[in-house]
Amino acid sequence: MWLFKVVVSVCVASVGLSAWAQDKAFVRGGVAYVEPADAVVASAYASQSPKLSLALGQELDQVNRAILQWHHRSYDSDLENFPARLSLSGVAAGFEHDLVALANGWRLTLAAAVGALYLTTQGPEAAKEPLLDRLSFGYNLGFGCGYSYAGYNVQAKVEQEHIFRRFLGNYSFDGHLYELAFTALL
Amino acid sequence: MNMPAWRRWLRRPLWLVCLLVVSSCKETAAINTEFPQVTGEVFKVQLVGDSRDGPQIYASLLGLAQHSGQADALIHLGDLLSSPARTEQIPLFASLTKSFLQGKPVYIAPGNHDVDSVTSLRNLAKVYPYLGETGYYAQHLGGCFCVFLNSEDQATPGSHIGNEQWAWLKQVLQSPTAQRAHYRAVFVHRPPFPQNHHKDQPLRTPEPFHELMVAHKVSLVASGHEHNYSRLVQDSVTYLITGGGGSPVHGSPDSGASFFHYVEIFEKLAGNQLLGRVIDFQGKVRDEFYVAI
């Protein structure tokens, strides 16, 4: 776990510094409701928290942006006598492209991101496993609608997330995400 | 005539929306469920084992079994988790299994991927309390006195079945309750007589175990551990290995034993026999057998 934290910290710090050093860098905070695509996962684990995300980004030109994101979410077991909690944390590098720039600051956006995720389990006497067994990778594809005004942007986004299946012994943690994000130019 | 700018823009994302829709579609496979139904008053038990790395296949097998008529109980012959440390899979297994059983019970004989310590057994027992502190127990199912063993016994290190469990097994099989039952069956993850992948790793120790089964007229011993199917009859005891519940099958498909499957056991007390039927992933009957009780 310490290695993962170090990697995340270094990535966030380096992108943050480089973004800060240039024009049109921005920071973004987001909250997303996650709907598991797998009915078994949805019935076994209820969302305990929304997916919270914090991102730093850079506007590459008027319609393209690069983003580095940290995110976290957790689920609680629905079994009364087995109060387990899964937490998924991760970093993702992404790209956004404005498909349509409508009048009055509205825009439609396509987003894609790839990243690494780390699973932690809190529960009744949860056993320890090697770090690599808890590490997985995933990608997101999303479509959003945003409104920009005076250097700020509010965006509603629908995303499809795929987390590679070996992550949880072939139980799929794929999901659909409904996100609301707030962006401010630095 | 030029198209307005906003319409030109609207056309661009259409292919992306299509891509998102297509990628969310799931594949479905056709299955055959046209095998003959068993009619009349029967008690039906479904056996499945080693589902650990194949929840989709396990779910399909449970769905197939449900389609052929709801069983009165499900017996899982162990290895329901990828490893004992993957405690997060316990609620997933429990939820998946429960969704197919419509309130019917599931009984587990824990496997080596489920239990490797007192802690891991305790975790399972939180969801399946009948496992208790030991992992072995006995249960009446229909006319059967069913004994569930814990082949991952932690009480005697290095032993599949520890001294205490062995003494308990002897005691429980010779008890009046067991002897009064119409027939007796034993369920244990590690097979006493493995036939394929784990042939050199039998449940320790098979000879005294078999003598005990014969002495107490146990009709059926069902196990998992080997990810395939086999059946052996020895001195009127039928030994089944059914480990095709979802984990990658062991051995070549040409061997005739390596296929995903579950087993249905029909209790036909009037005829003093059990009917067993092995159903594969496509819904085909791969073996049918009778066990005298």
Q: Which of A35, A38, A40, A173 to mutate to test the interface with B (most CBs of B within 10 A)?
A: A40
Q: Do B83 and A110 touch (CB under 8 A)?
A: no
- Using pLDDT thresholds of 50, 70 and 90, give the confidence band for residue B68: confident
B65 versus B4: the higher-pLDDT residue is B65
Taking CA–CA distances from B23, the nearest residue in chain A reads: A160
Q: For residue B11, is pLDDT > 80?
A: no
Cα separation, B281 vs B32, whole angstroms:
9
Taking CA–CA distances from A170, the nearest residue in chain B reads: B53
Beta bridge partner(s), residue A68: A56, A93
Cα separation, B38 vs B48, whole angstroms:
19
**Closest of A80, A75, A141, A133 to residue A109, by C-alpha:** A141
The rounded mean pLDDT for chain A is 83
Q: For residue B25, is pLDDT > 60?
A: no
Predicted pLDDT of residue B13: 45
Backbone φ and ψ of B208, nearest 5°: -60, -35
- Using pLDDT thresholds of 50, 70 and 90, give the confidence band for residue B93: very high
Q: Cα B194 to chain center, whole Å?
A: 16
Give the distance from residue B89's alpha carbon to the nearest chain A alpha carbon, in angstroms: 7
Percent of chain B topping pLDDT 70? 84
Quick: pLDDT tens for A17-53: 555 555 689 999 999 999 888 888 888 888 777 899 9
**A57-63: long-range pairs with CB below 8 Å, 24+:** A57/A19, A57/A25, A57/A26, A57/A27, A57/A28, A57/A96, A57/A183, A58/A18, A58/A19, A58/A22, A58/A24, A58/A25, A58/A26, A59/A24, A59/A25, A59/A26, A62/A98, A62/A101, A63/A97, A63/A98, A63/A101
Nearest beta carbon to residue B10 from set A39, A82, A100: A100
- B52 and chain A in contact, CB less than 8 A: yes
Q: For residue B244, is pLDDT > 90?
A: yes
Quick: pLDDT tens for A91-114: 999 999 999 888 888 999 999 999
Q: Count of residues for chain A?
A: 186
Radius of gyration of chain A measured on its C-alpha atoms: 17
Query: DSSP assignment, residue B84?
Result: T
Chain A residues in contact with B91 by the CB 8 A cut-off are 44-45, 77-79, 82, 84
Q: For residue B255, is pLDDT > 80?
A: no
Chain B residues in contact with A41 by the CB 8 A cut-off are 92
Predicted pLDDT of residue A79: 84
Taking CA–CA distances from B21, the nearest residue in chain A reads: A160
B205: tokens are 């120790």
Quick: pLDDT tens for B126-143: 999 999 999 999 999 988
Dump the DSSP string for A127-169: PP--GGGGEEEEEEEEEEEEEEETTEEEEEEEEEEEE-GGGGT
Q: For residue B37, is pLDDT > 80?
A: no
- B13 and chain A in contact, CB less than 8 A: yes
Beta bridge partner(s), residue B93: none
Give the distance from residue A152's alpha carbon to the nearest chain B alpha carbon, in angstroms: 23
Cα separation, B61 vs B76, whole angstroms:
12
Predicted pLDDT of residue A83: 83
**Secondary structure element (H or E) that encloses residue B61, with its range:** helix B55-67
**Mean pLDDT across A143-155:** 92
Chain A residues in contact with B89 by the CB 8 A cut-off are 168-169, 171
A136 versus B170: the higher-pLDDT residue is B170
Q: Do B91 and A84 touch (CB under 8 A)?
A: yes
Q: For residue B17, is pLDDT > 70?
A: no
Q: Do A124 and B126 touch (CB under 8 A)?
A: yes
Query: 157-176 in A: which are within 8 Å (CB) of B?
Result: 160, 168-171
- Which ipTM value was assigned to this complex? 0.72
The rounded mean pLDDT for chain B is 84
Window from A79-88, B47-56, B138-147 with minimum mean pLDDT: A79-88
pTM of the predicted model as reported, rounded to 2 decimal places:
0.79
Nearest beta carbon to residue B88 from set A99, A108, A121: A121
Q: For residue B22, is pLDDT > 70?
A: no
Q: Count of residues for chain B?
A: 293
Q: For residue B33, is pLDDT > 70?
A: no
Quick: pLDDT tens for B196-221: 888 888 888 889 999 999 999 999 99
- A152 and chain B in contact, CB less than 8 A: no
- Using pLDDT thresholds of 50, 70 and 90, give the confidence band for residue B169: very high
A168 versus B146: the higher-pLDDT residue is B146
Percent of chain B topping pLDDT 90? 56
- Using pLDDT thresholds of 50, 70 and 90, give the confidence band for residue A78: confident
Q: For residue A150, is pLDDT > 70?
A: yes
**Mean pLDDT across B107-136:** 93
Chain B residues in contact with A100 by the CB 8 A cut-off are 6, 9-10, 12-13
Give the distance from residue B235's alpha carbon to the nearest chain A alpha carbon, in angstroms: 40
Predicted pLDDT of residue B266: 92
**Mean pLDDT across B173-178:** 94
Nearest beta carbon to residue B88 from set A99, A168, A170: A168
Dump the DSSP string for A61-106: SSSEEEEEEEEEEEEEES-TT---EEEEEEEEEEEEEEEEE-GGGE
**Secondary structure element (H or E) that encloses residue B263, with its range:** strand B261-268
Predicted pLDDT of residue A2: 52
Say whether the peptide bond before residue B177 is cis (omega within 30 degrees of 0): no
- B122 and chain A in contact, CB less than 8 A: yes
- A80 and chain B in contact, CB less than 8 A: no
**Mean pLDDT across A113-120:** 91
- A122 and chain B in contact, CB less than 8 A: no
Chain A residues in contact with B129 by the CB 8 A cut-off are 81
Predicted pLDDT of residue B28: 36
